[in-house]
Amino acid sequence: MERRESSTFTPASETPVSTEVAEELSIDDIEIRVPVLDGESASKYSYKELNRQWLLLTEAARREILSVPEVREIAKRFIDLPVDESLSGAFLEALSSNERIARLLERYKEQIGDFLELAPVPDEEVVPDISNAPQLHNLESTIKYLLQGHDNQYTPEFYEELKRIVDSGVFLHGITASERLIITQRYRFAREVKLLALQAEVLSDGQDIEMMNENEFVLPSGTTITLNIENETKRQELLNPQNWKKRRQIKDRVYELLVGSSKYILKEKKTARHKDTMRHGHKPGITSLQEFQVAEYFQENAVIEQGDIKLNWESPVATVTFLDGFQFTVFEYTEGLIEDGSAIQQLSQEILENREMYEDEFNVIREMAKTFVEHPRVLKYSYRNTESSLKSLLKWLGLRKETSIQELTFNDFALIKSIRMQNKLEALRDETIIKNGFENRDHDGFAFKINILEGRPQLEIFGFDFEYFSPLHDGIIEDSLERIRKSNRNRDNYQGLTFYRRYLGDITIIKNAAYYAMLAIEGLLDTQEEFSI
């Protein structure tokens, strides 16, 4: 706890002040927490330059670990030390006995050197996690803001309002935006130290590795490695630290690895010191070993191919758990994955380029759609048949009432077909997770891929994030399955194309009718007798 030594906001003599309130709340005596880093003090650092210098230092450390036994011995001491803000600075300081690293540290001392020497942000302030910890307020900025609302007068109301803010604790607890950055950065650096220490230990003590079974090893430090690699060449390549070349961050806990000539994906177990956490605070997920086991199970038991759609899962190859709790899983790298928002447009383009494969289906949908254009559900959500309510509904949905119904174009068919394929895949994914006895508490972690099979596009969805998968009790699997089926069916029947205007533009009656024609062919329409099919 720190106290302000002086205030730049002592009221001027000509400013009217409530003596009684001012004596009760002296600005000079307001206790504040002085941050490790704020906007002003952080301005000396270039985060781009910090990353560049860290990359050069750790690459030098990696090479020295590979070639210099003394450096290897120093580095492996960090294998069981906890991941925290001070670890990366301590690591480089320990390695500074090496002349090459010492020269780099001297060169970069004003940026990375100074940055790593900053005091750690108190753990008790980083609650529940980096992103959701309260914001530490600046007293001087707050006073300036309050004065603006009181005509720059230190009135009794000003002091009363300031006292309420002081009593809330926002000057004593919380972290600044700059502190969020420093915590995120230094924890990332610390996790990379752990990988360098792992490399050092495997090189130094490889002969002392205890084999629990064919696929599980325990290092002298107690670090465990579990493998799932059938290809012996790849297995030896992955286990040889001489091949561990590069690690590039993709997002918060996810990295691309280059091992020998092969690329992999590394996923750390998420903690409260990762940035991308749940909205209301970090919730612990499963361990990396459990993530490895769940991914292995789904890859072996839940790959499903149904014509032009395919459900697939990321393939785990290894998982590592350190004694201090740091852990990660390594997965096969999958080329050609597409973000959710791009899949529909790219798939529709493939359908357009392979029109001959869809001509018959297009003609069927085009004719069926004409029988749907008069039905209320095509207009969505309303079964009222007055002209005024219909106009109001069309305006709210972004639909337009057409004086004459246009023919369905192949371009629109391609987009609507792509939307249906994606929706079918997502429904298949949801049901498959539950059928296999799991629920997913986080709905992210999926991407798409487009395959061309005999000239016809196939949409493939990849499940690649298992950290919040948890087992369901046998007694609730059927109920959960029924709920998700009902939810997906309601989405198909009562939302239609409502949320796809960014792809389709105006959702005209014929477009909506075509969508319901596709549902009818799939047998997914509720009360199909309402339609003239």
Q: 366: which residues sit within 8 A by CB, 6+ positions away?
A: 407, 408, 413, 514
Q: What is the pLDDT of residues 354-377, one digit of tens each?
A: 999 999 999 999 999 998 888 777
Q: Report the percentage of the chain scoring pLDDT > 90.
A: 76
3-state secondary structure of 345: helix
Would you place residue 339 in the very low, low, confident or very high pLDDT band (cuts 50, 70, 90)?
confident
Look up residue 262 and give its two tokens. 């092969």
Question: Greater confidence, 437 or 28?
Answer: 437
H helix or E strand, kind and range, residue 32: strand 31-32
Q: What is the pLDDT of residues 451-501, one digit of tens each?
A: 999 889 999 999 988 999 999 998 899 999 999 999 999 888 887 788 888
pLDDT for residue 341: 79
Look up residue 446 and give its two tokens. 């999926």
pLDDT for residue 464: 86
Say how many C-beta atoms besides its own lie within 10 A of residue 285's C-beta: 20
pLDDT for residue 502: 82
Q: What is the pLDDT of residues 487-533, one digit of tens each?
A: 999 888 887 788 888 888 888 889 989 999 999 999 988 764 444 44
pLDDT for residue 509: 87
pLDDT exceeds 90 at position 162? yes
Would you place residue 395 in the very low, low, confident or very high pLDDT band (cuts 50, 70, 90)?
low
pLDDT for residue 76: 97
Question: Greater confidence, 464 or 17?
Answer: 464
User: What phi, psi does 80 have (nearest 5°)?
Assistant: -110, 10
Question: Taken in order 386, 392, 393, 399, is the CA torsion positive or negative?
Answer: positive
pLDDT for residue 17: 46
pLDDT exceeds 90 at position 139? yes
Distance between CA 417 and CA 354 in Å, rounded?
A: 13
Mean pLDDT of all residues belonging to the chain: 89
pLDDT for residue 6: 38
Determine the average pLDDT of the residues in 7-33: 61
Q: What is the pLDDT of residues 167-192, one digit of tens each?
A: 999 999 999 999 999 999 999 999 99
CB 290 within 8 A of CB 440: no
Q: Which residue has the tokens 């790219």?
A: 346
In terms of C-beta density within 10 A (0-12 exposed, 13-18 middle, 19 or more buried), how is residue 237 classed? Answer: middle
Q: Report the percentage of the chain scoring pLDDT > 70.
A: 89
> Rounded to the nearest 5 degrees, what angle is found at the Cα of 191, between the Cα atoms of 244 and 71?
60
Torsion angle in degrees (nearest 10) through CA of 448, 449, 453, 458? 20
Q: What is the pLDDT of residues 234-290, one digit of tens each?
A: 999 999 999 999 999 999 999 999 999 999 999 999 999 999 998 889 999 999 999
Would you place residue 403 in the very low, low, confident or very high pLDDT band (cuts 50, 70, 90)?
low
